[in-house]
Amino acid sequence: MLVRHAAAVLAFAASMHVPAAFAARPFVTDDARIVDEGGCQIETFSKHQRRSSEREFWFLPGCTPAGPVELTFGGIKTGGIKTDDAIDAASSSVIAQAKTLIRPLRPNDFGVAVTLGATRLNPILPAHAAGWSPYFNLVTSLSLLDDRAFVHANLGALRDRPAAITRLTWGLGAEIALGPRLFGIVEAYGQQGEHPSRQIGLRFWVVPNRFQIDATLGSQARRTPADVWTSLGVRLLF
């Protein structure tokens, strides 16, 4: 399951907060869970930077066709980025990922998963290099209080091929039940060479385990004042 997680795949994509792993919304930090075998999900959300005109739209469908392997293939559309050559430039990225369970997550126990994937950035300007950047992520999750709370930790790396740099990535998040259908989340995540990002959010099941709505408020202290964003999303399982 996605995103959100959390962190950037290319040096240019990093400025747009493109994560290197995709956890169940509204997380960027990944979790050691996948869609049930034979099932699918669609995660989509929009993200808006409060201190700039930057906007993102994410669309991430995923399925587990057979065995303990979840496949995700989707993309990101970004607009409103101010550059030296354009006021309202737009770019997009394509994402492909596979996640497999090493140890299933059970109540009051821990689970382990591994993700392998790659992102291809279609740059705003011809001068920016395009190409596939592969990544991997080791994911651990801990269930507490009979599944009323979870802690997730990620450690991975991505290969920024256009820049010929390998970057370590990390994420740490927690989700806590606030009611029968409502969860609160808090997390921090980042990659080597960049300031960490953090966010808080809510996840509400309109139809339990079928239809979810969610929202987050986050920031990254890479400039003064800090970047601040909001996001709204939906998740559909079938």
CATH (residue range 11-237): 2.40.160.40
Quickly state the pLDDT bin for 221 (edges 50, 70, 90): confident
| Res 29: pLDDT | 94
pLDDT for 61-108, tens place per residue? 999 998 899 999 999 998 765 544 555 566 789 999 999 999 999 999
Query: Which range, 52-56, 91-95, 113-117, 226-230, has the best average confidence (pLDDT)?
Result: 113-117
CA-CA distance, 26 to 56, in Å (whole number)?
A: 14
